[in-house]
Amino acid sequence: MSQRISRAYKITKTFLTYGLDEIIPARWLPWSLRIGRYALFWMPNKHKQKPAGERLRLALESLGPVWVKFGQMLSTRRDLLPPDIALELAKLQDKVRAFPGEQAQQLIEKALGLAHIDEAFDDFSVQPLASASIAQVHTARLKQGDDAGADVVIKVIRPDIRADIDADLRLMETLAGVLARHLPDGRRLKPKEVVKEYRKTLLDELDLLREAGNAIQLKRNFENSPLLYIPTVYSDFSRHNVMVMERIDGIPVSDVDTLMAMGVNMKILAERGVEVFFTQVFRDSFFHADMHPGNIFVSRENPDNPSYLGIDFGIVGTLNREDKRYLAENFLAFFNRDYRKVAELHVDSGWVPAHINVEEFESAIRTVCEPIFNKPLAEISFGHVLVNLFNTARRFEMEVQPQLVLLQKTLLYVEGLGRTLYPQLDLWQTAKPFLEKWMKEQLGWRAVVRSIQENAPFWAEKLPEMPTLLYDYLKSQRPQALARQQILAQMREAQQLQSQKIGWAALTCGLIISTTILYVTAQPLWLVASTAAAAILSSIALWRRKSS
């Protein structure tokens, strides 16, 4: 608890000493926070001379990787932020303050068991090529093996970073618990589940062996593809905190001026960015979930037919079959303006409670989405659209899906990328043909053929066993049939016996009642005695039936 309080104090102090409270419009701050700001008078703004964007960048950078990641995501949202702030936050993508190169060299030598870096690499550069929130990279050349002489980059995890991440995550978990209990939308927004998912992805990013595996998988998925090139990972030189991979020569996707000067076809480039995203999500169910501009480059070859180069695969996302199908159907219904279908899919998938009025939900979705169709990205204010969609979600009790958080973040990156490269891009028309083709492959005759092809090895393996299995099955059916016949005969006999018992019981009760009535009404003694004798004989017969 003391660590959480200490970290919360540091975050508050950092925000106030960098004057970030002055960036927030006063009308957005409740009176309690304004009074709290005056109470913390010993934490004045020490950076008044710096622009707001620089203050925000420095504050996030000083708080560590969790906050840097947040700044990276914000940097792609040029429509939500003033241009000066967005440009300053973009520096967080690959210009985070580096740690000493000599320390990085020592970490590499220790991880690879080298007495000196020269044993495995030539021309190791102590000056880092780039520095990000989790790690930094250095250039070198391989000295050993079949790839000797290849230019490589060596990625090294920052030292002692785990403690800072754990402290921030614990604080976020505490805040998420408070929000879940006290916010009216706490149950629907699922803050604890979202933080849990974020914890997993962030800690996965600290394991470079996992990142190496992700890179190898993505490279295999896009082998010989004109859309995306993934550099080769040298697994023999990779460890949990060190990874060695091929050095690529590309233009940062955010360097629009250079791309334009080289004559790159920006329309095709933007469309291919959308295609890469949907291919990863719907074809492979394995997508690069950290596609901010610092991790995406453009090949210098074939500017008329450009392709992407990707790096940094620490965060990847996956989707199960059901979520993928619901997403594809939602996208298609949305592109076709079939808002009724969108509403029904949300109810069917459980994302919206079943008691919600579908007609009202359909109307609300139409109100938000219809105005943005047939418009290029340059004319769409996604800030307003997102606010309206959030209000709609709250009104109809739509629950946050933690497994889709990475996908939503990646979609924001892709949309921000398209806005930067080619503002006239029609996002809907670019994605719709791809999704239609995918749906046909999943639900049409192609899906049947593919299923047969996928299961053919299994059936080929089992086919020689089929005659034996069929013979054993038929052989086992005869004794089973005889056993069933015996059981049925026993059931019929028991049913007949039960019917007889019921009949004798009814007769006995009737005779007893008749004897009583005859005796009470003073009938002749011989009549009462004969009726009583009949009742006694009937009860004896019933007793014998029960004992049998």
| Residue 243 neighbours by CB under 8 Å, 6+ apart | 154, 155, 208, 209, 211, 212, 233
Whether 94 is a known active-site residue: answer no
Q: 16 a known binding residue?
A: no
Choose, from 79, 290, 312, 426, the residue flagged as catalytic.
290
| Residue 402 neighbours by CB under 8 Å, 6+ apart | 190, 193, 194, 196, 197
| Residue 30 neighbours by CB under 8 Å, 6+ apart | none
| Residue 75 neighbours by CB under 8 Å, 6+ apart | 86, 89, 90, 92, 93, 292, 293
C-alpha 406: how far from its chain's center? Answer: 5
Instruction: From 300, 307, 310, 349, select the one nearest 328 (Cα to Cα).
Output: 349
Instruction: State how far the Cα of 307 lies from the Cα of 276, in Å rounded to an integer.
Output: 10
Instruction: From 161, 155, 113, 121, select the one nearest 138 (Cα to Cα).
Output: 155
Helices assigned H by DSSP within 64-190: 65-75, 83-89, 101-112, 161-182, 186-189
First and final C-alpha spacing in the chain: 75
- Here the tokens at position 430 are 């670019």
Q: 130 a known binding residue?
A: yes
Reported for 453-460, long-range contacts at CB under 8 A and 24+ positions apart, including other chains, are: none
Q: 451 a known binding residue?
A: no
Q: 408 a known binding residue?
A: no
- Report yes or no: 356 and 396 within 8 Å, Cβ to Cβ: yes
Q: At what angle do helices 266-278 and 405-421 cross, to 10 degrees?
A: 170
Q: 548 a known binding residue?
A: no
- Strands 242-246 and 130-131, by their bridges, are unpaired
Taking the CA atoms of 96, 60, 318 and 276 in sequence, report the sign of the dihedral they define.
negative
Instruction: State how far the Cα of 82 lies from the Cα of 449, in Å rounded to an integer.
Output: 52
Q: 131 a known binding residue?
A: yes
Q: 133 a known binding residue?
A: yes
Q: At what angle do helices 65-75 and 191-205 cross, to 10 degrees?
A: 100
| 288-315 as b/e: b if 16+ CB within 10 A | bbbbbbbbbbbbeeebeebbbbbbbbbb
DSSP string, 447-508: HHHHHHHHHHHHHHHHGGGHHHHHHHHHHHHHHHHHHHHHHHHHHHHHHHHHHHHHHHHHHH
- Report yes or no: 402 and 188 within 8 Å, Cβ to Cβ: no
Q: 135 a known binding residue?
A: yes
Instruction: State how far the Cα of 526 lies from the Cα of 271, in Å rounded to an integer.
Output: 110
Instruction: From 230, 206, 199, select the one nearest 217 (Cα to Cα).
Output: 230
In the block, which residue shows the tokens 């003033």? 82
Annotated binding site: 129-137, 155
Catalytic residues: 290
Annotated binding site for ATP: 129-137, 155
